[in-house]
Structure 1
Amino acid sequence: MTALVREAWAAARSQGVASSLTCLLVAAVVVAITLTSGRTVAAQQEVLRSIDSVGTRAIVVRADTDSGLTTGFLQRLRAVDQIAWLGGLSPIVDGRNAGVPDAAGVPVRQLYSDDLRAAGMPAQPVSHTAYASATALDALGMPYGVGELSLTNGDTLGVAPAAGPAPALLEFEPLVLVPATPHGDEPLAVVVVIAASPDMVAPLTPVVTSLLALDDPRMATVSTSSDLAELRSLVEAQMSALSRSLIVGLVGVAAVLVAALQTALVLMRRKDFGRRRALGASRRFIVALQLTQTALLVLVGAAAGVMASGVVLAVTGAPQPGVRFSLAVTIWTLTFALIASLAPAILASRRDPATELRVP
């Protein structure tokens, strides 16, 4: 295999003009794809992130104080698959800046969750400390996130800034959370369930509802982001279809041009193939040699195109489509080029040694 690659590379170098044209053609196609479909993909990712930021995967259960909703509900939900995050919020207690008389109050909630980092808190939180969002810190008059919180139930807590809440918790701003561990069936006012994907919101909703186990189901409401999830799927499908059609078209044109170049190379090297056949080279070897040469030229051209398009996007300040997109474009281009080069490779393998060596 190494000898085949080495010989293919030597053959490509011996035909500098044709090889350079092939590399430049592939590079131009990759640049064109990246600057068109690549930008579309990057824009799609930005749009999807914007939609996701408002909680396309959220299922929110709200219950009255005396509904009987407790942390036992969280325990039952932990056995359900396709749940990415789960958190329960206690009933609200008002909190005020202990150092500012007549300060405005903010709602303070206890949070029961196995993953505190998703709510902007450290995995090992400080005891007797409330973690406040930037909005809550401004409302409390604690712009630097330092101070004491006085609760209406008589407790006093330290305050620390939260790194940033999960998107599904943004609707509860100003958000002040106190990490808590249940020591029994603690009462809950809100339970937030984040599905593993937007498509799982619809099937998970009846499961969540069935596990509520309340004496009066009317005392709890279950709201979902199913409309947003459908919008996300629609946007993703439409933008992906547009990108795919454009990529296929550009790669198809490149494949045809690569095939034309390879056919011209085969005709130019017919004596070389005749000598190889006369010296015992098999038809399979000739085909493999041609396809390997094509693959090497395509990979070099694709690498140059990816680097050139990356520089252009960086200079213009446009979003980058990402490594996965560049790798996919390279694989598509390589596949189409190899398929298109198969006919010229078979033509090269079928050159008659006696006929070719007789031609002056």
Structure 2
Amino acid sequence: MTAEVGAEFINPATVGVLQGLDDAEAVLARTPATDVVNAALGSGSDAAPLWDVTGDLPQAVTLIGGRWPAPGEALVSERAQEVFGLETGVGAVETVDGRQIPVVGIYAPTDAFAHLDSGVLGATDGSARLSTVDVLASSLAAVAPMHSAALAVLAPPDPTMITVSSPLTAARTALELDAQLAASARQLLAIVLGAGLFLVATVVLADVMIRSRDLGRRRTLGIGRLDLVLLVSVRTALAAVPGAALAAAAGLSLGMADAMVPPRVVVAIAVLGIATAFAAAVPPAAFAARRDPVRVMRTA
């Protein structure tokens, strides 16, 4: 959100209120950009933009060298470091009016604050005239509530005094696509698990028919029906463990490479596959457990 230069409603107090909102992941307010040069080289050397900022600086940028600035000090971006020729990221920059600001570190902006990747960020002492505030919502679903809450906190006396750049439309589209993809994923998972359930049940039924004499002998020796069902089902589930572990390892490696599949989802699907194998074995095992062991031993 950008206000007219000199507007008073973007100030340290309103920034503090925005920082306290539940859905605010990062809030950073800044002044209009002003050109600065390397103080050691003076005017006429290459310039870069300087913004005095206040708010959640550690959430907006990553410190890659030096230390965080105190009021009156500044950080330079990697690109500005090259412009100024500051090999260690330590030195000073100078404004057009001769004000010198010590540089104490180097930063790299996070993705949400990539527009700050070519300048200098000065830590304001609270007296700077702020004109822009960036509010990063914690999730796509929080974009709309944060948009309304931020406007309510700033409460500009005249709506024309503020320009709002908000990804509301993009967020709604992303949420709709996410819901559609989630529904498709659930449907695909249900189809795969259903097919697996049928195939495992068929294989286990064939196995208990082939091993009917062995199972009948166990019944004759006194094993209970429930114990027999558990024996067959647990053995089937244990046979599914190596395949599930291999699939989980492949999923985790792909998920880490593409940063798309959370590890907990991969592990949960592997566990669900093992549970499906166990459940699929129960009906054939129950069928085998209910057969008359005497008849099975006689005909097998």
Q: TM-score, normalised by structure 2?
A: 0.84
Pick from 22, 36, 41: which aligns with 1:100?
Answer: 41
> 1:247-262, aligned counterparts within 5 Å?
247-262=189-204
In the TM superposition, residue 242 of structure 1 has moved relative to its aligned partner by 4.3
**CA 121–188 in structure 1, closer or farther in 2 if over 3 Å, else same:** farther
Q: Does the 8 Å contact 1:93/1:109 carry over to 2? A: yes
Matched residue SS, 1:210 = helix
Uncovered stretches (5+) of structure 1, i.e. residues with no partner: 1-60
Matched residue SS, 1:85 = strand
Provide the C-alpha distance between the structure 1 equivalents of 2:251 and 2:150, rounded to a whole number of angstroms: 47
> 1:26-175, aligned counterparts within 5 Å?
61-68=1-8, 69-101=10-42, 102-121=44-63, 125-127=68-70, 128-142=72-86, 145-160=89-104, 162-175=106-119
**CA 187–318 in structure 1, closer or farther in 2 if over 3 Å, else same:** closer
Pick from 240, 245, 260: which aligns with 1:298?
Answer: 240
Pair 1:349-2:293 in alignment: no
Q: Does the 8 Å contact 2:49/2:118 carry over to 1? A: yes
Pair 1:267-2:209 in alignment: yes
> 1:202-241, aligned counterparts within 5 Å?
202-241=144-183
In the TM superposition, residue 308 of structure 1 has moved relative to its aligned partner by 6.1
Matched residue SS, 1:188 = coil
In the TM superposition, residue 73 of structure 1 has moved relative to its aligned partner by 0.7
In the TM superposition, residue 117 of structure 1 has moved relative to its aligned partner by 4.5
What letter matches 1:351 in structure 2? R
In the TM superposition, residue 267 of structure 1 has moved relative to its aligned partner by 0.9
**CA 115–284 in structure 1, closer or farther in 2 if over 3 Å, else same:** farther
Pair 1:326-2:266 in alignment: yes
What letter matches 2:24 in structure 1? I
Pair 1:284-2:226 in alignment: yes
Partner of 1:176 in structure 2?
Answer: 120
Q: Does the 8 Å contact 2:6/2:131 carry over to 1? A: no
Q: Aligned residues, how many?
A: 295
In the TM superposition, residue 243 of structure 1 has moved relative to its aligned partner by 4.1
Q: TM-score, normalised by structure 1?
A: 0.71
What letter matches 2:29 in structure 1? G
CA offsets per residue over residues 42-86 of structure 1, 9 Å max, x none?
Answer: xxxxxxxxxxxxxxxxxxx11112111211111222332211111
What letter matches 1:196 in structure 2? S
Q: Does the 8 Å contact 1:255/1:333 carry over to 2? A: no
In the TM superposition, residue 94 of structure 1 has moved relative to its aligned partner by 2.7
In the TM superposition, residue 181 of structure 1 has moved relative to its aligned partner by 4.9
Q: Which moved more, 1:144-153 or 1:340-349?
A: 144-153
**CA 231–143 in structure 1, closer or farther in 2 if over 3 Å, else same:** farther
In the TM superposition, residue 296 of structure 1 has moved relative to its aligned partner by 0.8
In the TM superposition, residue 322 of structure 1 has moved relative to its aligned partner by 5.3
Q: Does the 8 Å contact 2:81/2:106 carry over to 1? A: no
Q: Which moved more, 1:249-258 or 1:280-289?
A: 249-258
Pair 1:336-2:276 in alignment: yes
CA offsets per residue over residues 125-168 of structure 1, 9 Å max, x none?
Answer: 14453212223333434466344211234332233553321323
Provide the C-alpha distance between the structure 2 equivalents of 1:140 and 1:236, rounded to a whole number of angstroms: 44
What letter matches 2:80 in structure 1? A
Tell me the C-alpha RMSD between the 2 structures.
Answer: 3.0
Uncovered stretches (5+) of structure 2, i.e. residues with no partner: none
Which structure carries more strand by proportion? 2
Q: Does the 8 Å contact 2:69/2:104 carry over to 1? A: no
Matched residue SS, 2:156 = coil
What is the identity percentage for the equivalent residue pairs of Structure 1 and Structure 2? Answer: 28
Higher RCO structure (Cα 8 Å, ≥6 apart): 1
**CA 84–231 in structure 1, closer or farther in 2 if over 3 Å, else same:** same
**CA 303–168 in structure 1, closer or farther in 2 if over 3 Å, else same:** closer
Provide the C-alpha distance between the structure 2 equivalents of 1:274 and 1:350, rounded to a whole number of angstroms: 10
